[in-house]
Amino acid sequence: MFSEKSVIPNGVRNELGPMIPENHSSIDRLQSLVAQSFDTLESILNNPEVSAQDKATVALKILEMVGTSPQFSKSISLPNSGFQKPSSLSSTLFSESFSSNNLPAKYYQIDNFLSPEENQKLLEIALKHSDDFIGSTTSTQASDYRKSAVLYATFFPEFYQIIRQKLLGILGGILKHLNHPSFSISEVEMQLTAHNDGCYYKIHNDSGSPETCTREFTYVYYFYREPKSFSGGELRIYETDLQETSLERHENFQIVEPRNNSIVFFDSRSKHEVMPVICPSRIFADSRFTINGWLRRGE
C-alpha cells in the first residue's frame, strides 16, 4: 500500500516546507517540483495496482500543494494539462467524493444480460441439478445468518465459460459506471444459488477476510421461472464506512430489484444483504435463482 512517505520523498516535502517562495530561484524550483508532482499523480492514478484509497490520498496532497498558499498560487503557473486550481467549494466536493473511509451505496444493473435462450437454458440447468444443491454457509460459520442452497460451477462448466467471457467483455463499462480504478483479473468465482421460502442473507461484505480480500467486484445475475412465483429477495446495498468493523445497518442504502435476466455489479467491500424471500408454493422451481460470484484482482 502506498503511504504519504512512500509517494512523496522526504527531500520534496522538506523543500515544499511552508509553501512560500522567497525568490525567483525558489519559484522556479517549486514550479519544477509541481510539474513533477502532477506527473507522479498521473502515473499513480493510471496504475491499476494502486488502491482507490491511496490514489485519493495522493491526489488530495497535490491539491493541497496547489491551493493552500495564496503566495504560491500567485507565483506558480500550473502545467499545461487542462487542470485548474480548485476553489474552496470544489475542493470540498473533491474531498467528499474521494473520502478514503466512505464507500457510497452504489451499483450498476444491466437488463437482458443473456439471450432468452441462454436464460432458459440456465433455468433448465438449475432444475436438472436440484438434488446437487447444498446448504449455503458463511466464512464465519455463523448460525441463522444465511439460508439458501448453492450449486457449484463444476456442475455447469460450459455455462461458466459463457458467463465468464461476457463478464470480461463488459469489464471496461463496469469500471466506468462505478468510477472504479482498473485492475487485472486473476479469477472469476461463480456459483448458482437458490432462495426459496424464508431464505435470506443478513448484512455482510464479500472481502472482509484474508481469503477474500482480493475480491474487487461482486456480481449477481437474476433468473427465475415466469410468471414470477415469489416476492421479496431484494438486494440492499449500504453506504459503508471502511474503517468500521461492525456489520450494522445504516440509513443510507440502495435497493436492487431481482429482475429476471438482469445482472448487478457492486464493490465487494460494500455492506449488503438479501431480504427474506416469500415463496408460498415452496416448490424448488419457483425459487429466486442467481448466478453470483466475484471478480478477483491479481496481486
- Model confidence at 215: pLDDT above 90: yes
Q: In terms of DSSP H, where are the helices of 8-156?
A: 10-16, 24-45, 52-67, 70-75, 88-97, 116-128
Distance, in Å, from the CA atom of 45 to the CA atom of 225, rounded to the nearest integer, reads 44
Per-residue pLDDT, 247: 82
Per-residue pLDDT, 44: 72
Q: State the residue for C-alpha cell 436464460.
A: 119
- Would you state the cell numbers that stand for residue 146, as one nine-digit string? 444465511
- Would you state the cell numbers that stand for residue 78, as one nine-digit string? 500550473
Summarised one tens digit per residue, pLDDT across range 137-176 is 887 777 789 999 999 999 999 999 999 999 999 999 999 9
User: Residue range 205-218: average pLDDT?
Assistant: 96
Per-residue pLDDT, 251: 86
Per-residue pLDDT, 43: 73
Nearest to 123 by CA among 47, 232, 50, 226: 226
Distance, in Å, from the CA atom of 25 to the CA atom of 169, rounded to the nearest integer, reads 52
User: Residue range 30-49: average pLDDT?
Assistant: 67
Whether the upstream peptide bond of residue 280 has omega within 30° of 0, thus cis, is no
Summarised one tens digit per residue, pLDDT across range 41-76 is 677 767 766 655 565 555 555 544 444 344 433 333
Distance, in Å, from the CA atom of 45 to the CA atom of 183, rounded to the nearest integer, reads 12
Query: pTM surpassing 0.75?
Result: no
Distance, in Å, from the CA atom of 272 to the CA atom of 204, rounded to the nearest integer, reads 6
User: Residue range 212-241: average pLDDT?
Assistant: 98
Distances (CA, A) of 281 to 124, 223, 252: 19, 18, 34
Summarised one tens digit per residue, pLDDT across range 70-106 is 443 333 333 443 334 333 333 333 333 344 589 999 9
Q: What dihedral angle (degrees, nearest 10) is formed by the CA atoms of 278, 284, 290, 292?
A: 110
Domains along the chain with CATH numbers: 4-97 (no CATH), 102-297 (2.60.120.620)
Summarised one tens digit per residue, pLDDT across range 242-288 is 988 888 877 899 999 999 999 999 999 999 999 999 999 999 999 99
Distance, in Å, from the CA atom of 261 to the CA atom of 145, rounded to the nearest integer, reads 27
Give the count of alpha carbons within 13 A of 42, CB side only: 10
Per-residue pLDDT, 34: 60
Distances (CA, A) of 157 to 58, 163, 209: 43, 10, 27
CA angle 74, 80, 84 (to 5 degrees): 55
